[in-house]
Amino acid sequence: MTVHPEVAAMLAALESGFPDVTKFPPVELRELIRSRRAPLQGLPGMRDVHDLTIDGPGGDLSLRVFRPHTDHDDLPVVVFAHGGGFVFCDLDSHDELCRSMAEGVGAVVVAVDYRLAPEHQAPAAHDDVYAALEWAAKNAGDYGADPSNIVLAGDSAGGNLAATVSIAARDRGGPAIAAQVLLYPVIDDDFETESYRLYGTGYYNTTSAMKWYWQQYAPNGTDDPRVIPTRAESLTGLPPAVIITAELDPPCTSGDTYAQMLEAADVPVVHHRFDGLFHGFLTFTSLSFTEPARRDIWAMVRGVLEKR
C-alpha cells in the first residue's frame, strides 16, 4: 500500500517524536506529553466557554462547556470524552477539537475530564462520563441546549466510553440518547484482528501501546460491558451511531466490526472509514486531510440528528 507523502511525513515525525508509552510511569508520561503541546489558541472562537466542577462518583469532576456563536436556545448537546488510552490527555488536549465540533455540528459540547488510569481503573472513567451525561440532561437548558437531544461522543478511548455509556443509559433507564459518535473508537482488546496484524507497528499507534493501555485501565479483565461494549447481552435499542475509523489504525477492524454488529441489531448506523489515515488524525490540524474530514463528520452527525 502506498501512503500519501504528507501522511508518511506526519507518521515519521510522530514515530520519532512521540514517546514510547510503555517506557514511562503514567505520571511522568502525562507530564511529558503535556509539555510538548502548543499553547491553546482558543480557536475557533465560541460565544461562551465555561469551566465548572460537578459532583462525580469519585469526587470533583471537571467539565468544559462550549457554546458556539448562535442565538438559538435549543441546540443539541454533545457529551464528549477525550482519547488518550484512558491514561493521559485532558480538557486542554481536546479543546480545539471540541470547539470545531461545537461550531461544525451546531451544538453545545460538554467535555469531561474523567478520572485516568492506572490510579483509577475501570469502570471509573465510564462512571464519570455517565455522571456528566446525567448532569447534561438536567442542566443543558442553562447553556442554550435541548436536554432531550443529547449526543454521546468520543475519540479513541473516549469512543469506548461513549459506546459503553450509551449501553448503560439504555440498561439503567437513563437519559435518552439521540446519537452516539465514535471516532476511531477503541472497542475491545482483540489484538489479532486484520488491522492489528497490518498496522500494529510503524503507524504511530502500536499494538504494544494498546496492550499497555488496557493493562492500565482494566488489569482485572474486560468481561464487563462497562469496559467493552461487545460484552453487552444485546445491542438492540441503542441510539443511532456515527462510527468513524481510520485504515492505518490497529483498532480499525474492531470499529468496523462494531458498526456491522449495531446494524445487525437494527441500530441505524452511518459508518465511514478514512482510508490512508491513522489513529488520532482528527486532532492534527496541520494535516491537510483533517479539516475536510471534520467537515464530513460534522455533516454526518447533523444528518443523524435531523432524522429524529
pTM score: 0.97
What tens digit of pLDDT does each residue of 78-107 get? 999 999 999 999 999 999 999 999 999 999
* CB 151 within 8 Å of CB 179: yes
Q: Which of 156, 166, 195, 254 is catalytic?
A: 156
Mean pLDDT for the chain overall: 97
User: Whose CA is closest to 142, among 187, 79, 75?
Assistant: 75
Torsional sign, CA 109, 75, 103, 306: positive
Q: How confident is the model at residue 17 (pLDDT cuts 50, 70, 90)?
A: confident
Q: For position 121, what pLDDT does the model report?
A: 98
What percent of the chain has pLDDT above 90?
A: 96
Right CATH for 5-306 from 3.50.7.10, 3.40.50.1820, 3.40.50.300, 3.20.20.210: 3.40.50.1820
Q: In this model, does residue 1 exceed pLDDT 80?
A: no
What tens digit of pLDDT does each residue of 190-246 get? 999 999 999 999 999 999 999 999 999 999 999 999 999 999 999 999 999 999 999
User: Whose CA is closest to 122, among 151, 85, 174?
Assistant: 85
Among this protein's residues, is 195 annotated catalytic? no
Listed by start position, the domains of the chain span 5-306
- CA distance linking residue 70 with residue 283, whole number of Å: 24
Q: How confident is the model at residue 36 (pLDDT cuts 50, 70, 90)?
A: confident
* CB 141 within 8 Å of CB 147: yes
- CA distance linking residue 105 with residue 77, whole number of Å: 10
Name the packing angle between helices 157-171 and 124-139 (round to 10°).
60
Q: For position 260, what pLDDT does the model report?
A: 98
Q: For position 308, what pLDDT does the model report?
A: 85
User: Whose CA is closest to 55, among 116, 119, 117, 138?
Assistant: 138
